[in-house]
Amino acid sequence: MTNDQDLKKFGQVVKSTEKLQVLRINCWNCQNITHHGLDYFCESLKTQRFLQKVGLSFPNCSQLTDKALQNLSEGLMRLPFLKDLFLNFTECSKVTEEGFFFLSQSFQRLKSLNSLYISLLG
């Protein structure tokens, strides 16, 4: 995936899949993905109430901003059975403490969460 449209297409596939329990995405070469693309993807999470494990890796996404993490946190809060969460946002230079605040707020609301890994280097 290299841009917002690619992420939107993937989100459409996720949205059409029923009772998905595990979702892992590794986006290498994703410099052109913005909060709009992540928002499209997070819309697909509305249909995935059975997700238990989510792994999202967006290294080197120089266009991602705090708004992207806000959208992601809103999407994650829609997953009542989420147990394991892996997030990699290394080298995302436009993300600030405010974006991570949105994420931390969603973690507090995920009552079923047992395992959390976050990589925020760079």
Query: Would you say 121 and 89 are in contact if contact means Cβ atoms under 8 Å apart?
Result: no
Q: What is the DSSP letter of 17?
A: S
Placement of tokens 């993300």 in the chain? 95
Domain architecture of the chain: domains with CATH: 21-119 (3.80.10.10)
Over residues 41-89, the pLDDT tens digits come to 888 888 888 999 999 988 888 888 888 888 888 889 889 999 999 998 8
What is the chain's percent helix, strand, coil content, to nearest 5?
Answer: 40, 20, 40
E strand spans, 1-122: 22-26, 53-57, 84-88, 115-119
Band (122; pLDDT cuts 50, 70, 90): low
Question: Does the structure show a pLDDT above 80 at 30?
Answer: no
Over residues 94-112, the pLDDT tens digits come to 888 888 888 888 888 888 9
Q: Beginning with the edge strand found earlier in the chain, give each strand of the sheet holding 53-57 in spatial order.
A: 22-26, 53-57, 84-88, 115-119
Torsion of CA 13, 79, 58, 61, to 10 degrees: 90
Task: Tell how many helices (H) and how many strands (E) occur in the chain.
Answer: 4, 4
